């Protein structure tokens, strides 16, 4: 892929931050479940927390491919930081696309500077793959809504400041009538519950958001009431290619480590890279990674159109890249033998981090179902 000058500069800057600021802290972020605020601030200083926000409203005005290049570069060092970066980017784009002038003015500059971090809250304990089962409800009361419900597994939960919360209002008449509210931390009736203790991506501070008679002014609606499904594809696609980018970064780190190890580890007086079994593993990993990268970059490019983006390349990139990262990190661990299994090396962490990505932003099985139906000309839902 030939990058333009801006994309090259963005990739180099993100890689430098990843190498110098994120990599030295990544193991600790994982072990101690530290939310990577330090690294996020470094990304904000480089302008990356508002990278796709138009320049006219204080952002970087860069394209979707640049966003993916940043996610990939960061994930090579610290996937937890990369996942929070992607989530923040998705909510930023949602505000750009569907937010009112007041919301844009009051939130986007602070989000670009990293003074306010964003979280994206859809999942509930009974509605993960099936968002139609969402029960969080907003009941109209004059100029306000009264919100009740609990979201779980939300990236950045207690650490974020601004929350895009998907729910139903009492005016919902059809299963497709979802709404979204922008709710800020500190609002009375909004608190935090259980924090997840996940196997990977342990710096992302996933947890519960609890709304108990939480009064929210109606100007906090994102777009129009019951209009969430109409605007959602325009920003959720950024999450899909963003997660694909995170998968590329993790897989690249694993392949690099495997090649290095294959060249330096000697068994029976020769480097293990001299053995055909190991050569096959290196070749398979690198080929899968290259294929995922090609799919992801082209899906990102088509998002900026024209013509209007198709969901098919986004679903394919998310599906293939996340599954690829599991396969590649597993093989890279194998190349390392027992040391790959040890927590002294990052191989086991790469594997654990990759594992979560096939679940978030639509699990693989759901993507396959939607792709299969769309490819046969059927409606995806």
Ligand X SMILES: Cc1cc2nc3c(=O)[nH]c(=O)nc-3n(C[C@H](O)[C@H](O)[C@H](O)COP(=O)(O)OP(=O)(O)OC[C@H]3O[C@@H](n4cnc5c(N)ncnc54)[C@H](O)[C@@H]3O)c2cc1C
Instruction: Write the DSSP assignment of 333-368 as a string of letters.
Output: HHHTTHHHHSTTSTHHHHHHHHHHTTTSSS-HHHHH
Pairing between strand 137-141 and 162-169? parallel
The residue among 300 and 354 lying less far from ligand X, judged by its C-beta, is 354
> Do 108 and 70 contact (CB within 8 A), yes or no?
no
Contact string (CB under 6 A) for ligand X, positions 351-380, x = contact? -----x--xx--x-xx--x-----------
Which of 19, 18, 36, 28 lies closest to 204, judged by CA? 36
Closest distance of CB 33 from ligand X, Å:
13
Say if CB 355 and CB 243 are below 8 A apart.
Answer: no
> Is residue 349 a contact point for ligand X (CB under 6 A)?
no
122 binds ligand X (CB under 6 A): yes
Work out which of 35, 67, 120, 178 binds ligand X, going by CB under 6 A.
120
> Which residue number, 237 or 273, has a Cβ lying nearer to ligand X?
237
Contacts of 256 (CB under 8 A, 6+ apart): none
- Which range of residues in 72-80, 153-161, 286-294, 372-380 is near ligand X by CB under 6 A? 153-161
Based on CB atoms, which residue is closest to ligand X, 256 or 365? 365
The count of residues interacting with ligand X (CB under 6 A) is 20
313 binds ligand X (CB under 6 A): no
Nearer to ligand X, 148 or 286 (CB): 148
Cis status, amide bond into 307, omega within 30 of 0? yes
Give the residue with the Cβ less far from ligand X, 61 or 369: 369
Task: Find the residue with minimal CB distance to ligand X.
Answer: 128
Interacting span for ligand X (CB under 6 A) from 6-14, 147-155, 219-227, 256-264? 147-155
CB of 141 to ligand X, least distance (A): 26
- One DSSP character per residue, 278-312 reads HHHHHHHHHHHHHHHHHHHHHHHHHHT-SSPPPHH
Size of the chain, expressed as the number of residues it contains: 381
- Under a CB-based contact definition with an 8 Å cutoff, are residues 320 and 358 in contact? no
Nearest distance from C-beta of residue 131 to ligand X, angstroms: 8
Applying the rule CB under 6 A, the residues between 197 and 226 that interact with ligand X are 198, 201, 206
| Residue among 4, 16, 28, 129 that touches ligand X (CB under 6 A) | 129
Q: Cite the DSSP H helix spans in the chain.
A: 5-17, 23-32, 37-45, 64-77, 79-98, 101-112, 228-264, 276-303, 311-335, 338-341, 347-356, 364-375
Choice between 87 and 296, CB closer to ligand X: 87
Over the window 238 to 277, marking each residue x when it contacts ligand X by CB under 6 A and - when it does not, the resulting string is ----------------------------------------
Q: Give the whole-angstrom CA distance, residue 360 versus residue 243.
A: 8
Of 154 and 333, CB closest to ligand X: 154
CB of 83 to ligand X, least distance (A): 7
Cβ-based nearer residue to ligand X, 122 or 335: 122
**Is residue 80 near ligand X by the rule CB under 6 A?**
no
What are the φ/ψ torsions at residue 251 (nearest 5 degrees)?
A: -65, -40
d(CA 166, CA 180): 4
Rounded to whole angstroms, the Cα distance separating 123 from 87 reads: 14
155 contributes a contact to ligand X by CB under 6 A: yes
Q: Contact positions toward ligand X, by CB under 6 A?
A: 87, 120-123, 128-129, 153-155, 198, 201, 206, 356, 359-360, 363, 365-366, 369
């Amino acid at each position: 892929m030939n990058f333009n000058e801006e994309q090259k500069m963005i990739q180099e800057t993100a890689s430098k931050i990843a190498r110098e600021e994120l990599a030295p802290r990544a193991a600790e972020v994982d072990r101690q479940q530290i939310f990577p605020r330090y690294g996020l601030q470094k990304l904000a200083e480089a302008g990356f927390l508002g990278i796709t926000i138009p320049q006219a409203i204080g952002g970087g005005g860069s394209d979707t491919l640049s966003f993916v290049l940043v996610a990939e570069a960061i994930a090579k060092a610290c996937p937890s930081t990369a996942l929070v970066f992607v989530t923040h980017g998705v909510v930023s784009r949602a505000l750009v696309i569907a937010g009112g002038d007041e919301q844009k003015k009051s939130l986007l500059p602070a989000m670009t500077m990293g003074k306010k971090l964003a979280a994206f809250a859809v999942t509930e304990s009974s509605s993960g793959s099936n968002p139609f089962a969402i029960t969080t409800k907003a009941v109209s009361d004059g100029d306000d809504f009264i919100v009740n419900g609990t979201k779980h597994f939300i990236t950045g939960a207690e650490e974020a400041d601004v929350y895009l919360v998907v729910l139903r209002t009492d005016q919902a008449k059809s299963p497709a009538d979802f709404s979204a509210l922008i709710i800020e931390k500190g609002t009375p009736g909004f608190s935090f519950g259980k924090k997840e203790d996940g196997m990977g991506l342990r710096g992302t501070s996933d947890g519960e958001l609890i709304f108990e008679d939480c009064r929210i002014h109606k100007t906090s609606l994102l777009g129009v009431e019951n209009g969430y499904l109409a605007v959602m594809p325009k920003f959720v696609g950024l999450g899909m290619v963003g997660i694909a980018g995170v998968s590329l970064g993790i897989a690249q780190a694993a392949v690099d480590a495997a090649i290095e190890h294959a060249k330096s580890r000697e068994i029976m007086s020769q480097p293990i890279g001299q053995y055909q079994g190991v050569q096959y593993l290196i070749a398979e990993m690198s080929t899968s990674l290259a294929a995922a990268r090609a799919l992801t970059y082209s899906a990102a490019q088509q998002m900026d159109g024209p013509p209007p983006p198709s969901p098919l390349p986004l679903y394919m990139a998310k599906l293939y890249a996340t599954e690829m990262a599991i396969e590649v990190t597993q093989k890279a661990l194998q190349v390392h033998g027992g040391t790959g299994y040890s927590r002294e090396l990052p191989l086991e962490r790469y594997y654990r981090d990759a594992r979560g990505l096939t679940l978030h932003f639509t699990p693989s099985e759901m993507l396959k179902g939607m792709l299969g139906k769309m490819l046969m000309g059927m409606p995806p839902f």
